[in-house]
């Protein structure tokens, strides 16, 4: 009985971020603590294919593979992009039936398309030729006989140290002669950083200057993808009743960083007015591109705060997806300056308030 009384008192005074029975607390997917594949880009995201031709279509593949490591004191975590790793790519048809598993591995005998010892990037993608025989097989296995396009599955294995990271990507195709417009790429040209009352747009290779313990807003900036008429496309497709429908893409953003940068709204009620970072389970690290007519947020689509004491630098990864196969990303570099006297210098920083509480 005493345990429950104490827990009720702690919750009432706001000292617990999550109740481990009613509200399980987990580290957000945005926190990078180990090697991960964050995104897979294929260009074009939807190819036009002639099944009667002699050679299959060619697509360009790029990967965003990241990791994080602690500093010499085992405390400050810094994120980085992984460039050198063994990469292998296999391709297979999708499982048949309505209950398709989005992460079901390709069969062991699946065709290996390519392999190399460096991670393909946006600047230096890997060119893949898709086998026509596999596309013809996909047509035969498709219950709709390609009426809304064809799909194949890429299985990507990235060997980082003693770990093997596995990612999957669906390849989309329209048959030549179809009256449906294929999807085009989406692009991110930069990100708008809003701090206090000022804001500035940052492009590739630029570094944003922020202050530790002071939140700033992030707003991704869309560009026009190759072949597209606008950053966000409108398109025609066929619904499950076989009727033609006109739709508009919904671009979503996912934000990632190491634990030294908290993505989400901080809490000012728990530590004498200091901005504390607590994992509440609320989705503060994802956002949608505002629809036409929506009010544009003045302080970014998401908030971020450097929560580790001391001067530091890091990376924020923003992954954009259009909901129908196109994906890209932008890497924002930042420099965070420490302006609190008690938090300067090497550890231990006595008198420096703790900001990152995780699950409380």
- Asked, for residue 14, whether it belongs to a domain, the answer is no
- Decide if 256 is inside a domain: yes
Confidence at 12, pLDDT banded by 50, 70, 90: very low
What average pLDDT does the chain have? 86
Residue 7 is predicted with a pLDDT of: 35
For residues 278-283, average pLDDT: 82
Q: How confident is the model at residue 24 (pLDDT cuts 50, 70, 90)?
A: low
pLDDT for res 241: 77
Of 5-14, 191-200, 260-269, minimum mean pLDDT range: 5-14
CA 197 → CA 258, 287, 301, 310, distances in Å?
Answer: 26, 22, 16, 23
More confident residue, 341 or 334: 334
Quote the pLDDT of residue 101.
Answer: 64
Does the residue 321 lie in any domain? Answer: yes
Say if 7 falls within a structural domain. Answer: no
Does 28 fall in a domain?
yes
Residue 9 resides in a domain: no
Least confident segment among 38-47, 254-263, 270-279, 283-292: 270-279
Looking at residue 358, its pLDDT comes to 82
d(CA 32, CA 71): 15
Residue 105 has pLDDT above 90, yes or no: no
pLDDT level of residue 17 (50, 70, 90 thresholds): very low
Alpha-carbon span 169 to 115, nearest angstrom = 16
Would you say residue 116 has pLDDT above 80?
yes
**Entry field: residues in the chain:** 360
12 belongs to a structural domain: no
Average pLDDT over residues 161-172: 94
Q: Domain residues for 197?
A: 21-99+107-343+350-358
Q: Could you give the number of structural domains in the chain? A: 1
Peptide bond connecting 186 to the previous residue in cis, omega within 30 degrees of 0: no
Contact by Cβ (8 Å): 17, 278 = yes
Residue 74 confidence (pLDDT) above 70: no
**Could you tell me the pTM of the whole model?**
0.89
Q: Is residue 8 in some structural domain?
A: no
Query: Nearest to residue 125, comparing CAs of 159, 101, 163, 89?
Result: 89
What band does 318 get if pLDDT is binned at 50, 70 and 90?
Answer: very high
pLDDT of residue 287 exceeding 90, the answer is yes
């Amino acid at each position: 009985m005493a345990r429950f009384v104490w827990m009720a008192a702690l919750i009432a005074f706001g000292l617990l971020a999550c109740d481990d029975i009613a509200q399980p607390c987990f580290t957000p997917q945005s926190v990078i603590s180990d090697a991960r594949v964050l995104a897979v880009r294929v260009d074009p995201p939807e190819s036009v294919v002639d099944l009667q031709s002699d050679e299959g279509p060619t697509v360009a593949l790029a990967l965003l593979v990241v990791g994080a490591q602690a500093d010499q004191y085992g405390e400050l975590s810094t994120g980085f992009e992984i460039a050198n790793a063994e990469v292998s790519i296999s391709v297979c048809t999708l499982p048949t039936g309505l209950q398709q598993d989005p992460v079901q591995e390709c069969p062991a005998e699946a065709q290996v398309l390519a392999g190399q010892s460096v991670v393909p990037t946006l600047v230096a993608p890997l060119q893949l030729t898709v086998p026509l025989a596999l596309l013809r097989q996909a047509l035969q296995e498709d219950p709709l006989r390609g009426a809304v396009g064809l799909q194949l599955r890429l299985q990507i294995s990235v060997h980082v140290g003693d770990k093997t990271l596995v990612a999957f990507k669906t390849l989309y195709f329209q048959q030549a002669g179809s009256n449906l417009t294929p999807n085009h790429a989406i692009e991110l040209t930069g990100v708008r950083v809003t701090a206090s009352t000022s804001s500035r747009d940052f492009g590739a290779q630029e570094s944003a200057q922020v202050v530790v313990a002071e939140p700033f807003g992030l707003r991704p900036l869309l560009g026009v993808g190759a072949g597209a008429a606008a950053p966000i496309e409108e398109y025609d497709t066929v619904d499950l009743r076989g009727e033609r429908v006109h739709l508009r893409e919904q671009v979503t953003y996912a934000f990632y960083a190491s634990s030294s940068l908290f993505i989400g709204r901080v809490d000012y009620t728990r530590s004498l007015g200091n901005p504390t970072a607590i994992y509440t389970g609320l989705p503060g690290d994802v956002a949608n591109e505002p629809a036409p007519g929506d009010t544009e947020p003045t302080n970014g689509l998401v908030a971020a705060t450097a929560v580790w004491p001391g001067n530091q630098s890091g990376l924020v990864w923003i992954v954009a997806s259009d909901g129908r196969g196109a994906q890209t990303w932008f890497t924002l570099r930042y420099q965070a300056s420490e302006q609190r006297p008690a938090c300067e210098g090497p550890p231990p920083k006595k008198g420096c308030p703790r900001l990152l509480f995780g699950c409380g």
